[in-house]
């Protein structure tokens, strides 16, 4: 559903699985940190709200969105996690750089999901303007970080169901 029609932070809390005893990694881009910092706060606070202990939330920063998938790979290999959330923001510019970074992160996240045994959650904003990014990182459209944390909890529950 288009974001224009759906607030990213609207959900029924009774449908969200609890995260007690789960370990979640968050890899966040330093680039556009006025946006990604808000995404991080949303994801972190939502994980806490649903029972993930603060010591079980591992946060690592990487320079830009391109580095998100490698950061996720390191956490998967070294941190014994139940899920990894990647958070970044790429804003359309005048060059094809936007397309290359967005496609790379999308393909990298998909590859990690297929190669690894834990869910990797895609929390990359790909917007045309800074205003659109702000609207999706705590503004009028809610916070994509909240949505990423909820997705992580739901995917952890799905995987647990079949283990």
Q: Flag whether 125 is in a domain.
A: yes
Q: Tell me the per-residue pLDDT of 62-113, one tens digit each, with 9 for 90 and over.
A: 999 999 999 999 999 999 999 999 999 999 988 888 899 999 999 999 999 9
- Does residue 49 have a pLDDT over 60? yes
Secondary structure (DSSP) of 57-114: EEEEEESSGGGHHHHHHHHHHHS--SEEEEEEEEE--SSTHHHHHHHHHHHHHHHHHH
Question: Please, which residues have CB within 8 angstroms of residue 25's CB and are 6 or more apart in sequence?
Answer: 57, 58, 59, 60, 72, 75, 76, 79, 81, 83, 84, 85
Asked whether residue 8 is assigned to any structural domain, the reply reads no
Per-residue pLDDT tens over the stretch 128-149: 999 999 999 999 999 999 999 9
Q: What are phi and psi of 82, to 5 degrees?
A: -95, -20
- CATH code assigned at 29: 3.40.50.960
Residue 1's pLDDT is 40
pLDDT tops 70 at residue 156: yes
Residues annotated as catalytic (active site), given as ranges: 97
At residue 10, the pLDDT reads: 78
| Domain that includes residue 80, residue range | 21-161
pTM of the model: 0.94
Residue 1 lies in a domain: no
SS3 state of residue 30:
coil
What's residue 3's pLDDT? 52
Q: Residue 131, SS3? A: helix
Of 56, 72, 47, the residue nearest 21 (C-alpha): 56
Arithmetic mean of pLDDT, 28-47: 98
- Going by pLDDT thresholds of 50, 70 and 90, the confidence category of residue 51 is very high
- Residue 121's nearest CA partner among 109, 137, 132 is 109
Judge whether 2 lies within some domain: no
Q: Please report whether residue 4 resides in a domain.
A: no
* Per-residue pLDDT, 93: 85
* pLDDT score of 127 more than 60: yes
* Tally of domains within the chain: 1
């Amino acid at each position: 559903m288009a974001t224009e029609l759906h607030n990213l932070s609207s959900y029924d809390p009774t449908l969200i699985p609890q995260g007690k005893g789960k370990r979640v990694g968050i890899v966040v881009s330093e680039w556009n940190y006025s946006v990604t910092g808000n995404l991080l706060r949303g994801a972190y606070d939502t994980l806490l709200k649903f029972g993930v202990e603060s010591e079980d939330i591992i946060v690592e920063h990487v320079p830009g969105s391109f580095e998100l998938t490698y950061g996720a790979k390191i956490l998967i290999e070294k941190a014994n996690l139940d899920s990894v959330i990647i958070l970044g923001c790429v804003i359309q510019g005048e060059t094809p750089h936007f397309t290359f970074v967005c496609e790379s992160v999308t393909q990298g996240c998909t590859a990690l999901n297929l190669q690894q045994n834990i869910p990797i959650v895609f929390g990359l904003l790909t917007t045309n303007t800074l205003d659109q990014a702000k609207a999706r990182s705590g503004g009028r459209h809610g916070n994509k970080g909240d949505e990423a944390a909820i997705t992580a909890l739901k995917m952890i529950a799905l995987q647990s169901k079949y283990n």
